[in-house]
Amino acid sequence: MNITFDGKTIIITGAAHGFGRNIAQSFATRNATVHICDVNEAGLEETLKLCGSKTTAHILDVGNRTAVQETVAKIAASSDTIDVLVNNAGGVRGQVGRPIEEISESDWQTIFDVNLSGAFFMSQAVAPTMKAQKSGRIVNISSGAGLGISLTGIQAYASAKAGQIGLTRQLAHELGPWNITVNNVAPGFVRSNPTTERQWEAMGEEGQAKLLQNIALKRLGKPEDIAAMVMFFASDFAGWVSGQVISVDGGK
């Protein structure tokens, strides 16, 4: 299966490291014009260096609807099309699992802003362009936590990722008449960024062994495994696939 994106314009959020960086590199090596977005300016610059001259960086907080609208309008003005949106921005924003009675309103909302509201705002912003061109791909990066429970015990993270899966299915039906597909990748645990490295170390040898034992393939995945599924969803091969959630987790 030879997947290329010649002449295609791609937007990726959360591209400063981890899955987002690898997804950006995967599109760049397939000859796409790539727009990478993140609040982490230093990490975004590093991704930009790895992706090459057809990539443009945008400092963006996806939880800020006004900033999202302005950034997407700028991208649309510079491109003939917006072909693919990858809503990858997310994470636990430095939080750790705590009892429900200790969670503040701010703790809860901060995680929802980036994981769920951000995906909604970005999808909302690209929809007019994709409708006008009568084509488009939206790929959301959720989590196994959205299908089950969060390994970290963070209530807002599990809830926001489950909400993102619901958003995927709803938008697939709303946008389908314009030939816009909306799909979701739900990664298992992957050591892909500083947060997951801290989580891995906190498990200790016993916890790490237990995690691996619960995976059918008995090994952790890599960011490239997540990017590969994104490439499929974004490609012409997935033209009649929409509203789907695919777990990329080594088998559970």
- Domain spans, the chain: 9-192+222-245
pLDDT in tens, 38-48: 999 999 999 99
8 A C-beta contact, residue 225 and residue 190: yes
Where residue 149 falls among pLDDT bands split at 50, 70, 90?
A: confident
Task: Report the pLDDT averaged over residues 73-101.
Answer: 93
The structure's pTM equals 0.95
Average pLDDT over residues 181-186: 98
157 a catalytic residue: yes
- Confidence check: pLDDT of 1 > 80: no
Q: What is the pLDDT of residue 94?
A: 80
Strand order of the β-sheet with 136-141 is 55-59, 33-38, 9-13, 84-87, 136-141, 180-187, 245-248
- Give the pLDDT mean for 69-78: 97
Which among 19, 27, 120, 157 is annotated as catalytic? 157
pLDDT attached to residue 97? 86
| pLDDT attached to residue 117 | 98
Give pLDDT tens digits for 203-239: 899 999 999 999 999 999 999 999 999 999 999 999 9
The confidence band for 193, taking pLDDT boundaries of 50, 70 and 90, is: confident
**Cα(113)–Cα(37) distance, integer angstroms:** 15
Residue-wise pLDDT for 99-144, tens only, equals: 999 999 999 999 999 999 999 999 999 999 999 999 999 999 999 8
User: DSSP assignment, residue 119?
Assistant: H
Contact (CB, 8 A) for 121 and 65: yes
To the nearest 10°, report the CA torsion of 39, 98, 203, 113.
-20
Sheet strands (E) in the chain: 9-13, 33-38, 55-59, 84-87, 136-141, 180-187, 245-248
**Looking at residue 198, what is its pLDDT?**
85
**The dihedral sign for the CA sequence 201, 205, 207, 212:** positive
CA distances from 153 to 80, 81, 90 (A): 44, 40, 16
Q: What is the pLDDT of residue 98?
A: 92
pLDDT of residue 95: 83
Q: What is residue 233's predicted lDDT score, i.e. its pLDDT?
A: 98
Judged against a pLDDT cut of 80, whether residue 145 lies above it is answered with yes
14-55, pLDDT tens digit by residue? 999 999 999 999 999 999 999 999 999 999 999 999 999 999
Residue with tokens 């790539």: 34
Mean pLDDT of all residues in 151-157: 90
**Which of residues 201 and 61 earns the better pLDDT score?**
61
CATH of domain 9-192+222-245: 3.40.50.720
